[in-house]
Each structure stands twice: as structure tokens, then as C-alpha cells.
Chains A and B, each alone.
Chain A
Amino acid sequence: SQQGEEDPQALSIQEGENATMNCSYKTSINNLQWYRQNSGRGLVHLILIRSNEREKHSGRLRVTLDTSKKSSSLLITASRAADTASYFCATDRNQAGTALIFGKGTTLSVSS
């Protein structure tokens, strides 16, 4: 069953602008991960944030996690055309030995 749900479903911005995507989930988690998928390709891991962390940075990426609201956000700063892709949040199910459950994703389009 679907655990994470991203918002918005689609986002269009200009190069240089920041892009913010949100993810909400339903049950307790151990960690939350964000993945990126270029059109028709496999998914690539971006960043993992653990349930006891509130914020994490990686290059132009900033992820926040609010376990009380069961939500996370991914911020891409100074976006580039190459950031055009779909972005997915993924959660485990707070049980040992479980696979990731993905949301439907946010499709980001960055125009130059």
C-alpha cells in the first residue's frame, strides 16, 4: 500500500529559482529517503534522513523531517535545467527487514 504522497504533483519553475516538494506519510518510520528519476530511467538515491533528525543538507539539496506531522520537504536551491525529473519520497514501514514504499512523485520542470 502507498505510504508516502508527494505534493505538488507537478511543479514548473525557471532556472535559478528554488523548488520545494513535500511528502506526507501515514505510519511511523525509521527513516525517509528521497529519490530522483529522469524520464524513463531508473531511480537514483538523493538523500536519507533518519527519524531522529530534523534537517539534512547535501549540496543544493535540503531535506527536513517533521515526525509529529508525518511530513518531509525537499528543497532544491538555485535550480538548473538538469534538475528536471520526477522526485519521490520513500519510507520503510518501521519494521525490520522491509523494502521501501514510494509515493507517486513530483514532476519538476525547470526551464532555462
Chain B
Amino acid sequence: ETGVTQTPRHLVMGMTNKKSLKCEQHLGHNAMYWYKQSAKKPLELMFVYNFKEQTENNSVPSRFSPECPNSSHLFLHLHTLQPEDSALYLCASSADRGSGNTIYFGEGSWLTVV
């Protein structure tokens, strides 16, 4: 238990569906992240939030829409995804965005787009 909880753990969705991934951290952290992990590829940083404000968007397609209502919660809204978007989506948090902070990861949400 890392203090970062992701739901659902597994999600299968059609290309026309709209779904959301949820992340909650109980660590009192101020920075939250979405990473994407595909087979045989490095972890890809998608979004960074600091004190609820988005500070980084790594050229992520608009079919992925993040939302951070407060420092403890982070969502990733999904719509009209493609099969190549199937991957493990990892949420993470750290005390802040400063260098040297340990990043704490959730267990991930396995997404399959059919």
C-alpha cells in the first residue's frame, strides 16, 4: 500500500465509449502525475499537476483529458480512444514538483481499448 489508490484496476472500453480513471492519494502531497506504460516502451510522462494546476502536458492527444479538483484527487477522462491507447496507466504523487522528491505510484489501471 503506497498511499496512492487507483480505480478501476482493469477497464475494457470500446472506441466510442467515454470512461474515467480515478486516482486518490492519502499522503498529503501537492504534485500528481499521470504516466502511461506500454509494452516494451519506457514509461511516458503524460501530465503533471502541482497544487491543482496543470504544469505539464507532454503533447498528449486531446482524447485524454485530465482533471484535478484538489491536491488529493486526479482523474483521466477518456473518450474516442484508439486500440494503441491500450496500456497500463499509472498515477503518482510527490510532496511537490521539486527535484529530489520520491514519487509514489499507484498500482495502475489496465486499459484495453477494443
Contacts and interface: CB of A to CB of B under 8 A. Distances in A.
Interface residues on B, range: 20 to 34
B48 A103 contact: no
Interface string A37-75: 000111111001010000000000000000000000000
Interface stretch (B13-21, B70-78, B106-114): B106-114
Nearest to B2: A42
Contacts, number: 67
Which of A31, A99, A100 has most B Cβ within 10 Å?
A: A99
A98 B56 CA distance: 9
B104 interface: yes
Contact of A97 (B40, B97, B106): B97
B81 interface: no
Interface of B: 2, 4, 31, 33, 35, 40-43, 45, 48, 50, 55-56, 88, 90, 92, 97-100, 102-108, 110
Interface of A: 2, 30-31, 33, 40-45, 48, 50, 88, 90, 92, 94-105
A33 B107 contact: no
B8 to A, nearest CB: 14
A99 B40 contact: no
